[in-house]
Structure 1
Amino acid sequence: MREVRWASEEGDGIEHLVFDARDEGVFVESAVVGQRYGKGYGLYYGVHCDPHWRVGDGYLKIMGGGELALHSDGAGHWHDGQGMTLAAIEGCIDIDIAATPFTNTLPIRRLQLAEGERRPIEVAYLSTPDLQVTRVAQAYTCIALNREYRYEGIFRNFSANLSVDEDGLVIDYPTLFTRLPRTR
């Protein structure tokens, strides 16, 4: 089990994440304090993946606000906490929680890209703090195996090269997040 922290480069946000990779899968719990559109929020989330990094369950709770539960069979079939099918994200394997760099780890680990390989994917994008779920197009490219990956948010014409550690957890996400403690 590991604990990791990131600071937001866009404001006064911070995240504390507990990461536990076991034989039966990956378990994550995290608390994020952030701001969006000039308004602060607190977010608790948990994610469980199978040993192949396919999301099985995700739970998000805005402190003093809404909550969202997502469940997947790992093959892209999703339903919410009430068992309702989420057709809008059918076929998506990964989730992308807007408030955290952790969810970049999911496709980085799951795709197992070779150096120089690029793969477009569609993910379930979870906006914060409103917890809206939409399908978005992204792409990942392996720049340096197990060290650096290029993320492309095709849906918003944004890209960044992400440095990662041995677990695929982001160290630096230029302009958005940096791992704490900051190296000097």
Structure 2
Amino acid sequence: MRELRWASQEGDGIEHLAFEAREDGFQVESVVVGQRYGKSYGLHYEVRCDTQWRTRYARLKIVGAGELELHGDGDGHWRDGHGLMLSAIEGCIDIDIAATPFTNTLPIRRLQLAQGERRPLQVAYISTPDLQVTRVEQAYSCIELGREYRYEGIFRNFTANMKVDEDGLVLDYPTLFTRLPRER
């Protein structure tokens, strides 16, 4: 298990994440203390992926407020914590939690892009702190294999090049997140 931290570049905020590669896939548990749109919040989340980096489970809880649970089958079919189908995100394989750079790892690892390759995709975007889930269009490009990727938030006209480590975890996400130097 690896533990790492990111600091927000948008204001007060820090994330502490535990990442574990397991025989059946990958699991993370994290705590984010942040601020978005002038509102402070605390977020606890868990994400589980299969060995192909397809999101199979996500649970998010805002301290003192809402909670969200998602169950994916790996083929783009989703249910909430009550078993109800979520047709709005049908076909999405990846999730993108607004408060963390971790969820950029999911498509980076799953897509296995060749150097110079770009791929657009539909993603289940989870805003924070309101935990609203919407379908958005994004794209990823491989700039340097295993080291640097370009993220395009097509839905919001935002682009950034991210450097990643050997596990595909973000080191630097310009204007949004920076990995803190202490890693355990």
Unaligned runs of 5+ in 1: none
CA deviation after TM superposition for structure 1 residue 22, in Å:
1.3
CA deviation after TM superposition for structure 1 residue 42, in Å:
0.1
User: 2:25 corresponds to which residue?
Assistant: 25
Q: Could you list the per-position Cα deviations for residues 118-144 of structure 1 after superposition, in whole angstroms to 9, with x for gaps in the alignment?
A: 000000000000000000000000000
- For 1:154, give the aligned amino acid: I
User: 1:146 corresponds to which residue?
Assistant: 146
User: 2:119 corresponds to which residue?
Assistant: 119
User: 1:45 corresponds to which residue?
Assistant: 45
Q: Secondary structure of 2:106's match?
A: helix
CA deviation after TM superposition for structure 1 residue 38, in Å:
1.1
What is the aligned-residue identity percentage? 77
Q: Secondary structure of 1:131's match?
A: coil
Detail structure 1 runs of 4+ shifted over 4 Å in the superposition: none
User: 1:95 corresponds to which residue?
Assistant: 95
User: 1:133 corresponds to which residue?
Assistant: 133
Supply the RMSD in Å over aligned alpha carbons: 0.7
User: 1:167 corresponds to which residue?
Assistant: 167
User: 1:56 corresponds to which residue?
Assistant: 56
Unaligned runs of 5+ in 2: none
CA distance in 1, matches of 2:102, 2:79: 22
Q: Secondary structure of 1:121's match?
A: strand
> 1:68-83 residue pairs with structure 2 within 5 A?
68-83=68-83
Q: Secondary structure of 2:114's match?
A: coil
Q: Could you list the per-position Cα deviations for residues 136-163 of structure 1 after superposition, in whole angstroms to 9, with x for gaps in the alignment?
A: 0000000000000000000000000000
TM-score, structure 2 as length reference: 0.98
Q: Could you list the per-position Cα deviations for residues 25-63 of structure 1 after superposition, in whole angstroms to 9, with x for gaps in the alignment?
A: 100000000001111000000000000000000000000
